[in-house]
Structures are given as C-alpha cells and as structure tokens.
Amino acid sequence: MSNASFPRVGLFLRLAAIIYDLLVVAGVMMFAAALALGVSALLHAIGWWPLAAEQDHASRLMVSWVYRAYLVMVLVGFYSLFWSKGGQTLGMKAWRLRVQNTDNQAISFRQAVLRFFFSFAGLGNFWVLFNKEKLALQDILAKCEVVRLSQEANQFKNWRQPAVKK
C-alpha cells in the first residue's frame, strides 16, 4: 500500500492523461523537427553539409541516425523534465495526476528517464490491471507511483515540495 496522502490511479485516468499529452508531444516534436530542418538548411547554406543530387532536407534527415537520436532525446527530455521537476505533464495536470516517490517527494531525473523507457511506449500502464496496488510496470521498476491529487493540491505552485493533502 502507498505511504502517500493521495490514492493511486488506475488505467483509465492514466490513458486519459496520455491521450491529452499526445497532443502536446505532437506539437513539441513538430517544433523539434522544424528546428532540425532549419539547422540542416543552415549547414547546407554555409557549405558544411551539402545536399546530394535530388535530395531535400527532410529526406536527408529521415535517414540520419543523429536526427533520430535527437528526436528520442527531445521526447525523453520532455517527459523526464516534467516528471522530475513537478511530477506532472500537462495532461497529468489536467487530470490531477502526479508521479512521485511514495514519500510524496518528486522523483529524480534518473528515475524519470528510467520510467520513460520502462513504460514501453505506454504499454506498461496495462500492468495496473494485474497489480492490486495500482502500480504500472514503469512505477515498479522506477520505484515510484502515480497518484490523484485533490483540487487544492493540484494548484500547488512550488514543484520541488510535496503536495500537501488538505
């Protein structure tokens, strides 16, 4: 059982937050791709990375392992920063969810990165259906939990402090 002041959440609320976050992530990834296209065009313009015959910037980026690694880093960074700084992505904030350690403290950046990879693109959340303590696979492996905050606690401004139950 959780030592936290708030109840752990089940699959439905987790999926609702994921769907909400997908809209935000799509925008972040489009911005990251546009930035990469701009860098590609700049490097081409100054002659450091010329295009091959009949190649455009997008097709060059699509085959680049550096570009793919960059996009993964943007995605990992998005979730890890939100989870480690405030425990909430925008979708989690909308549904009053928070990822935290069982002592109500924010998870570390390292835990957040582990949690991202252990979620297996969100499929780890289905483990909640088989776990009596409502822990997803990524929660177990990263040693954290996802709880539902009260409306008052969800308004809490200082991200580094625990959310106090009212």
- Per domain, the residue ranges of the chain are 11-154
pLDDT at residue 104 is higher than 60? yes
Helices within 5-156 (DSSP H only): 11-45, 57-62, 65-85, 90-94, 109-118, 137-142, 151-154
Q: Residue 120 corresponds to which tokens in the numbers above? A: 């297996």
Helix (H) or strand (E) holding 145: strand 145-148
Average pLDDT over residues 104-110: 95
Provide φ and ψ at 81, rounded to 5°.
-70, -45
The amino acid present at 39, given as its one-letter code, is V
pLDDT at residue 1 is higher than 50? no
Distance spanning both ends of the chain, measured CA to CA:
20
Report helix, strand or coil for 148: strand
High-pLDDT (> 70) share of the chain, % = 91
Q: Please, what's the b/e burial string for 120-157 (b: 16 or more CB within 10 A of its CB; e: otherwise)?
A: eeeebbebbeeeeebbbbbbebbebbbbbbeeebbebe
pLDDT at residue 45 is higher than 90? yes
